[in-house]
Amino acid sequence: MISDKLNTKEYNIYYKAYIDNAADENIVEGLIQNMNSVIKFYSNIPQEKHDYVYESGKWTIKDILLHIVDTERVFTYRALRIARQDKTALAGFNQDDYVVSASARQRTLYNILEEYKAVRQSSIALYSSFNSNVLEQIGEASGFPVSVRALGYILTGHENHHIQVIKQRYFIAE
């Protein structure tokens, strides 16, 4: 498990499942691998499922994908700040508020996928620039310590988690 390779001071235990669900031990390889699998997975979802919710108050497929994009932006911003040795404690964010104000349901899945690709390419470039010392830098986000590398693992583990939820609750097969 990837979490076994990290110091427990590098992340909040809440993120352990995401870290252990990361795509690859090499963060950059995981980001590339997941980009390809995420694009393939979402591209194969039938259009009639894009706005489907399995229960009142739950997110659509488009909401989930845009949530992944927003989360990646927030987490790579955190990684950048920590990598640059900014000691400012970084605030959390309310994912539900973000989903409501993002208006994913007014966009096409294709449009959101294009945004996902752009954000992921940026994350790959950023993480490609980090050396092992930078990856081990620790800062504070949402009131807890977090390392640059833990944030990288969380990115792919988080999207893998959502793909599993979609397969189970939205009845989407690969």
Please state whether the predicted TM-score (pTM) of the whole model is above 0.85: yes
Q: Yes or no: say if 51 and 105 are a contact pair by the CB < 8 Å rule.
A: yes
Q: Yes or no: say if 61 and 112 are a contact pair by the CB < 8 Å rule.
A: no
- Residue 173 reports pLDDT greater than 90: no
Distance CA 119, CA 165 (A): 22
For 10-23, how does the pLDDT look when each residue is reduced to its tens digit (9 = 90+)? Answer: 999 999 999 999 99
Alpha helices in the chain (DSSP H): 16-20, 27-43, 61-83, 95-102, 109-128, 132-135, 148-169
- Residue 54 reports pLDDT greater than 70: yes
Domain membership flag for residue 174? no
- Residue 174 reports pLDDT greater than 70: no
Domain membership flag for residue 159? yes
Domain membership flag for residue 36? yes
- Residue 87 reports pLDDT greater than 90: yes
For 100-124, how does the pLDDT look when each residue is reduced to its tens digit (9 = 90+)? Answer: 999 999 999 999 999 999 999 999 9
Q: So what's the pLDDT on residue 40? A: 97
Residue 50 belongs to domain spanning: 2-169
147 strand-pairing partners: 138
pLDDT band at 35 (very low <50, low <70, confident <90, very high): very high
Number of domains in the chain: 1
CATH of the domain at 81: 1.20.120.450
Domain membership flag for residue 136? yes
Share the mean pLDDT of the chain. Answer: 95
